[in-house]
């Protein structure tokens, strides 16, 4: 066990504490800072600066560490100085509960997925257009689209396309909304 007189810790700002008769441990400024917040329940940055005689950047750094470990929250008001608030509801995470946000190499980037999807749509379109069996289907679709366009032919050019696109978007939106309602009903049961 190192002793407080040890040269290793002589110039550092640490205090030696005894927990019982045998265990000896070091208490740092960060420990004292957290204990002060825990006892007072809330502390502003200037109060902490005055109490611990450190810079505002150091207090902000300590507050960030405590907030990252979910031991307290830092509130940044519109006016005035930030406040560190201790809450009994917040509990620190155990080491087994820590999960990385994203494991590298496990998920493909969204751009890559979008490119592959676009390429698949393009290849599907080429297959449909170049296939002789789909000529009748393409003719029927073009006739239906021609009839729909003729419904709006009395409007000037940009409006007839805009209205048609708005109708298609509204139909897609309605179908998506109905699907969402159906899935919510299924989840509730």
Q: Label each residue of the chain as H, E or C.
A: CCCCCCHHHCCCCCEEEEECCCEEEEECHHHHHHHHHHHHCEEEHHHHHHHHCCCHHHHHHHHHHHHHCCCEEEECCCCCCCEEEECCCCCCCCHHHCCCCCCCCCCCCHHHHHHHHHHHHHHHHHHHHHCHHHHHHHHHHHHHHHHHHHHCCCCCHHHHHHHHHHHHHHHHHHHHHHHHHHHHHHHHC
pTM of whole model > 0.95?
Answer: no
CATH class of the structural domain 7-95: mainly alpha
Instruction: Indicate the domain borders of the chain.
Output: 7-95, 109-151, 155-189
pLDDT tens over the chain, length 189 residues: 455 445 555 555 666 666 666 666 677 788 888 888 888 988 999 999 998 888 889 999 888 888 888 888 888 888 888 899 887 765 555 555 555 555 555 556 778 888 898 899 888 888 777 777 777 877 887 888 788 778 777 778 787 778 878 888 888 888 888 777 766 666 555
């Amino acid at each position: 066990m190192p002793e407080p007189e040890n040269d290793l810790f002589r110039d550092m700002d640490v205090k030696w504490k005894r927990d019982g008769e045998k265990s000896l441990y070091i208490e740092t400024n960060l420990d004292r800072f957290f204990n002060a917040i825990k006892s007072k329940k809330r502390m502003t940055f200037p109060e902490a600066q005055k109490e611990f005689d450190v810079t505002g950047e150091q207090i902000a750094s300590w507050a960030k560490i405590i907030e990252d470990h979910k031991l307290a929250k830092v509130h940044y008001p519109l006016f005035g100085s930030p406040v560190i608030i201790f809450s009994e509801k917040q509990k620190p995470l155990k080491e087994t509960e820590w999960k990385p946000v994203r494991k590298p190499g496990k998920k493909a980037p969204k751009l890559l997925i979008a490119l592959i999807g676009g390429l698949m749509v393009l290849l599907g379109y080429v297959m449909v257009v170049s296939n002789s069996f789909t000529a009748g289907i393409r003719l029927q679709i073009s006739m239906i689209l021609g009839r729909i366009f003729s419904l709006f032919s009395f409007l000037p050019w940009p409006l007839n396309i805009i209205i048609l696109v708005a109708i298609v978007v509204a139909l897609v939106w309605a179908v998506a909304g109905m699907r969402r309602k159906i899935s919510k009903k299924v989840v509730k049961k």
